[in-house]
């Protein structure tokens, strides 16, 4: 009797990192091969491994908190090397309104002027700290003897005469 021919078996292994090169622990990694899917989490060093898979095209999908979901197509020829999947930060859609009342306030309820600094505004500004950006807002003033990088938190403060809004803009 002639044994049946079996498809060649192989595995997929890799590491998940952020843009700085730091490993992303406990990311959800899903492997799609044909109609089947397998899911696992990365270990503390950001590594994952799917052993004993058919020699076929596959898609690896990775998701983690505060990151965009990333998909990578893998063909049988590239499986022999370790995959390095780099996650990008998720888009920021939350707006922060700073008010003198210290309570939550929606943008539509703001009784005064509102200033929005977009990511482009911040990137075009030559200042190094958010303190310097906020100093451009009329009615906003900081009092401290040194910069925020070296100041003792008890020796600094903020005065708001007008409403100010600092909002990251979606990328």
Q: Which domains, and CATH codes, for the chain?
A: 9-87 (2.60.40.1120), 96-166 (no CATH)
pLDDT of residue 166 exceeding 60 = no
Q: What is the reported pLDDT for 135?
A: 74
Q: Does residue 100 surpass a pLDDT of 80?
A: no
Q: What is the pLDDT of residues 8-33, one digit of tens each?
A: 556 788 999 999 999 999 999 999 98
- Beta-carbon count within 10 A of 72 CB: 16
Token pair belonging to 28: 């959800």
Least-confidence region, from 4-8, 28-32, 80-84, 95-99: 4-8
Average pLDDT on 109-135 reads 73
């Amino acid at each position: 009797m002639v044994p049946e021919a079996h498809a060649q078996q192989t595995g997929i292994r890799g590491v998940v990192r952020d843009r700085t090169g730091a490993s992303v622990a406990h990311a959800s990694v899903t492997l799609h091969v044909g109609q089947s899917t397998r899911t696992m989490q990365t270990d503390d060093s950001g590594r994952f491994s799917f052993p004993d898979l058919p020699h076929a095209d596959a898609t690896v999908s990775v998701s983690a908190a505060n990151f965009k979901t990333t998909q990578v197509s893998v063909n049988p020829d590239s499986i022999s090397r370790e995959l390095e999947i780099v996650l990008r930060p998720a888009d920021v859609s939350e707006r922060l309104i700073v008010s003198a009342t210290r309570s939550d306030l929606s943008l539509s309820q703001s009784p005064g002027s509102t200033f929005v600094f977009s990511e482009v505004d911040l990137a075009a500004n030559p200042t190094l700290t958010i303190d310097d950006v906020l100093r451009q807002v009329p009615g906003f003033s900081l009092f401290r003897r040194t910069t925020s990088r070296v100041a003792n938190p008890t020796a600094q403060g903020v005065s708001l005469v007008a409403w100010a809004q600092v909002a990251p803009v979606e990328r």
